[in-house]
């Protein structure tokens, strides 16, 4: 018996990295998982690699039409049970390089994309009387004010604020909305970017040593998606080896 048996789950941005680990873990815990990623080939490959009935479709979370199709495809009897908003762009852009175009691209995906999936999913959950679970992936860069990603940091602060407000709005329907805030994690995206060089510095700030791995996020995401977390909503859960302590 898995703790997510009989549930359907949608995980965005799961072609690789943290999203891939979350999709795999939710499937291992019994959920029927649908991956939505703008990288269609990567999403299909990821689904095949995980097996366990995982399927995939192309979805750019900044596109309302594609988001609608994704959330509908991930429904069971009128609504999905679980939505994990993981897809995001993780830029490395010093302040002097941040122009309006960059700002709008990052906010349009990382924050507006989360609004679009939540809009559609909560509408369907309410109509189907489903006590759904929404997990929004934030980032501890919001707490740290990490350099070289000002638009990203703003978008993740937006995700935390939005998660709190949405939790308040939909609590009366039994829908839980929480944010999960990882520290620096050795994902494919990070390994192939200048962020890879930040591990030494970040490790000094962590309470526990080591390089964060996607699997260390996945277990907490699965917990937040389960009934074990059914009395938790509007929270931001830090999963960063204690880099942020409060």
Could you list the residues that contact ligand NAD (CB under 6 A)?
12-13, 15-19, 37-39, 42, 59-62, 86-90, 109, 113, 137, 139, 182, 184-185, 187-190
Residue among 152, 156, 182, 190 flagged as catalytic: 152
Partner whose footprint covers residue 148, from ligand NAD, ligand 4PL, none (CB < 5 to 8 Å by kind):
none
Query: Does residue 202 bind ligand 4PL (CB under 6 A)?
Result: yes
Binding to ligand 4PL in span 14-73, by CB under 6 A: none
Q: Return d(Cα 141, Cα 154) in angstroms, integer.
A: 9
Partner whose footprint covers residue 198, from ligand 4PL, ligand NAD, none (CB < 5 to 8 Å by kind):
ligand 4PL
Partner whose footprint covers residue 146, from ligand 4PL, ligand NAD, none (CB < 5 to 8 Å by kind):
ligand 4PL
Handedness of CA 38, 39, 44, 46 (dihedral sign): negative
Report in angstroms how near the CB of residue 90 gets to ligand NAD at its nearest: 5
Chain center to CA of 107: 15
Residues near 6 by beta carbon (within 8 Å), at least 6 away in sequence: 30
Q: For the window 81-110, what string marks contact with ligand 4PL as x by the rule CB under 6 A?
A: ---------x--------------------
Looking at beta carbons only, is 113 or 158 nearer to ligand NAD?
Answer: 113
173 is annotated as an active-site residue: no
- Are the C-beta atoms of 96 and 144 separated by less than 8 Å? no
Report in angstroms how near the CB of residue 37 gets to ligand 4PL at its nearest: 18
b (16+ CB within 10 A) / e for 58-79:
bbbbbbbebbbbbbeebbeeeb
The DSSP-derived string for 180-202 is EEE--B--HHHHTSGGGGGHHHH
- Are the C-beta atoms of 234 and 167 separated by less than 8 Å? yes
Residues in a beta bridge with 149: 93
Candidate residues 188, 198, 211, 232; the one interacting with ligand 4PL per rule CB under 6 A: 198
Report in angstroms how near the CB of residue 37 gets to ligand NAD at its nearest: 4
Report in angstroms how near the CB of residue 93 gets to ligand 4PL at its nearest: 11
Lookup result for tokens 């990623």: 37
Handedness of CA 164, 2, 67, 185 (dihedral sign): positive
Candidate residues 195, 206, 220, 225; the one interacting with ligand 4PL per rule CB under 6 A: 195
Strands 8-12 and 32-37 turn out to be parallel
Looking at beta carbons only, is 39 or 68 nearer to ligand NAD?
Answer: 39
The DSSP-derived string for 73-125 is HT-BTTB-SEEEE-------B-GGG--HHHHHHHHHHHTHHHHHHHHHHHHHH
Size of the site for ligand 4PL (CB under 6 A): 11
Q: For the window 168-187, what string marks contact with ligand 4PL as x by the rule CB under 6 A?
A: ---------------xx---
Q: Which residues are catalytic?
A: 152
């Amino acid at each position: 018996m898995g703790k997510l048996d009989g549930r359907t789950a949608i995980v965005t941005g799961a072609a690789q990295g943290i999203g891939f680990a979350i999709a795999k873990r939710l499937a291992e815990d019994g959920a029927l998982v649908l991956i939505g990623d703008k990288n269609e080939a990567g999403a299909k490959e990821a689904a095949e690699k995980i097996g366990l009935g995982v399927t995939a479709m192309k979805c750019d979370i900044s596109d309302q039409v594609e988001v609608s199709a994704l959330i509908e495809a991930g429904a069971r009897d009128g609504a999905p049970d679980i939505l994990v908003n993981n897809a995001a762009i993780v830029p490395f852009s010093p302040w002097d390089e941040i122009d309006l175009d960059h700002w709008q691209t990052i906010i349009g995906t990382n924050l507006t994309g989360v609004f679009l999936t939540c809009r559609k999913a909560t509408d369907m959950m309410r109509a189907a009387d489903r006590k759904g679970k929404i997990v929004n992936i934030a980032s501890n860069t919001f707490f740290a004010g990490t350099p070289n990603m000002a638009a990203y940091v703003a978008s993740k602060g937006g995700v935390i604020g939005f998660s709190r407000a949405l939790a308040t709005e939909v609590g009366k329907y039994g829908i839980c909305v929480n944010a999960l805030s990882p520290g620096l994690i050795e994902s494919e995206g990070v390994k192939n970017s200048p962020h890879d060089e930040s591990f030494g510095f970040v490790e000094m700030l962590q309470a526990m040593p080591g390089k964060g791995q996607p699997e260390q996020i996945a277990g907490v995401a699965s917990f937040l998606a389960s009934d074990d977390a059914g009395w938790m909503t509007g929270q931001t859960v830090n999963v960063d080896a204690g880099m942020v302590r409060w």
